[in-house]
Chains A and B, each alone.
Chain A
Amino acid sequence: MSDRIEDDGELFGDSASRDLWQQLQTAQKAEPSAQLRQRVLHDLNRHGERSGSWWTRLLPATSPQWVGLAAACCASLGLGLLMFPPDTQIDQRMARLEMQLDSVNQQLLISRLTATSPSARLAAVLQASTLDQRDATVASALLQRAATDDVPSVRSAAIGALGNEINRPETSGQIFELLAANDSPIVQIAIIDLILRHGELSLLQSLKQRASDGEVHPSLVGYVEETMGALEI
């Protein structure tokens, strides 16, 4: 008998119940608030101070500059370790430092993506677009900006920053929902350009269909059709 729950024919024998569970699994789940992240990180900092963890002792937990300072410390230490490698466990230490740097940078980026100032949010979106590798948290924060930001330029920049991630099924679905929901031609242009630059064939075909169904701003339908024609789709 298989140990995998999914393969339990007695429970999930018929395809209808399988499909229903699959849909529920991929349905959007509730997001914890940003305060939860702040509270947990605050707890970790406080613990680090109490326990004498070397890097948190260097940094005042309440200072807004602590993240940048932490990144600088990690980078200096990483450089020092590179120049004067200790005899043992250098790989493990470097992996840990790199991971800390990634984590700190990511937390900083996510906090900037939710900043009050539109220019700070825009700068964070542009920074996110330059990252070679992004994890699901950053992609999710970008989608959140793309869907809900009050400022069209931030929304359109967030859409552009998604890049190749639009080919993931959950992201492409949300992108098309955004296309239907946004009347702003600036935002629609950003979505269309994103699909034209990075979308796979199925996305392009879907865009063409939606343009002919009237889901695209009338002034952009010609642009879509012309580009699709040039691409022979």
Chain B
Amino acid sequence: MQAVSDEQLIQWVADGDASCLGTLFERHQKGLYNYALQLTRNAAQSEDLVQELFLRLLKKASSFRGESSFKAWAYHILRNLTFDQLRKSQRQQTDSASETTLEQELVDLRSAEQSASGEQQIQVLMKALARLPIDQQDIIWLGRFEFPDYQSLAAATDCSPATARVRMHRALKALSSVFETLNEVPQNV
């Protein structure tokens, strides 16, 4: 349990004490960075997005109303920034060869120390996740790694809990299908 809550810290930022944002950065930077990395597949771009997020948080601290957790609010802003960035760079239009390379780079980046044969299934799962459309990667990543319940997942993804549940079900069904397909062909990882 944290001595001072995230919500109290952002309130102090809103009161003019920007240094409290440094503590929030230390608490959440890794999760935020990995989320952005999953969607952009680019380390430098992900760091730029996290930096931009904290600048936004600094400017918008006073607009935090506490209707959701600070974490859900921060991920919601980062999500919007990332999707804007992806739209601008039109990543979806890159050719499939480049896509495969990026996907492999992402898997390599995260699994450099997980090359034991017993962990091959994890790599296949990561690869399957990287092959899904961005919106499905988004809901799975947030739902599995960051937000334990549909209420907070909904707050982060700007929809109702029921919609979050439906999206999660659809995305996991798609993931399961890709995962099974990948498991049928020999892996060269």
Report which A residues bind B (CB closer than 8 A). 3-6, 8, 10-11, 20-21, 23-25, 27-33, 35-37, 39-41, 43-44, 47-48, 51, 53, 55-56, 95-96, 99-100, 103, 106-107, 135, 137
| Residue B47 lies at the interface, judged by CB distance under 8 Å to chain A | yes
| Residue B19 lies at the interface, judged by CB distance under 8 Å to chain A | yes
Our pick among A5, A28, A96 for the contact of B143 (Cβ within 8 Å) is: A5
Given A30-B43, A32-B47, A43-B55: A10 and B22 interface contact (C-beta under 8 Å) = no
Are B54 and A43 in touch, CB under 8 angstroms? yes
B43 partner residues in chain A, CB cutoff 8 A:
30, 33
Given A3-B150, A5-B150: A47 and B110 interface contact (C-beta under 8 Å) = no
Task: Give per-residue flags for B62-95: 1 if the beta carbon is below 8 A from chain A beta carbons, else 0.
Answer: 0000000000000000000000000000000000
Closest 3 CB pairs of A and B: A32-B33, A3-B149, A36-B47
B29 partner residues in chain A, CB cutoff 8 A:
32, 36-37, 40
B4 partner residues in chain A, CB cutoff 8 A:
95, 99
Q: Is the contact region of chain B dominated by helix, strand, or loop, or is it mixed? A: helix
Our pick among A11, A21, A96 for the contact of B17 (Cβ within 8 Å) is: A96
| Residue B10 lies at the interface, judged by CB distance under 8 Å to chain A | no
A11 to B150 CA separation, bound complex (whole angstroms): 13
List 22 A-B residue pairs with CB atoms under 8 Å apart, sorted by A's residue number.
Answer: A4-B148, A5-B153, A8-B168, A23-B119, A27-B110, A28-B113, A29-B34, A32-B30, A32-B33, A32-B47, A33-B47, A36-B33, A40-B50, A41-B22, A41-B25, A43-B51, A43-B58, A44-B54, A47-B58, A96-B12, A100-B19, A100-B20
- Of B22, B125, B144, B172, most A-chain CB atoms within 10 Å: B22
A4 to B110 CA separation, bound complex (whole angstroms): 27
Are B110 and A21 in touch, CB under 8 angstroms? no
Are A53 and B18 in touch, CB under 8 angstroms? yes
Are B50 and A32 in touch, CB under 8 angstroms? yes
A33 to B50 CA separation, bound complex (whole angstroms): 12
Are A53 and B16 in touch, CB under 8 angstroms? yes
Report which B residues bind A (CB closer than 8 A). 3-4, 12, 16-23, 25-26, 29-31, 33-34, 37, 43, 46-47, 50-51, 54-55, 58, 109-111, 113-114, 119, 121-122, 125-126, 143-145, 147-151, 153, 161, 165, 168-169, 172
**A4 vs chain B, min Cβ distance (A):** 5
A136 to B144 CA separation, bound complex (whole angstroms): 21
Are A137 and B26 in touch, CB under 8 angstroms? yes
A25 to B113 CA separation, bound complex (whole angstroms): 15
Are B25 and A20 in touch, CB under 8 angstroms? no
A25 to B31 CA separation, bound complex (whole angstroms): 11
Are A48 and B18 in touch, CB under 8 angstroms? yes
Are B23 and A99 in touch, CB under 8 angstroms? yes
A135 partner residues in chain B, CB cutoff 8 A:
26
Are B30 and A29 in touch, CB under 8 angstroms? yes
A11 partner residues in chain B, CB cutoff 8 A:
168-169, 172
Are B122 and A24 in touch, CB under 8 angstroms? yes
A126 to B150 CA separation, bound complex (whole angstroms): 44
**A152 vs chain B, min Cβ distance (A):** 21
**B60 vs chain A, min Cβ distance (A):** 13
A99 partner residues in chain B, CB cutoff 8 A:
3-4, 20, 23
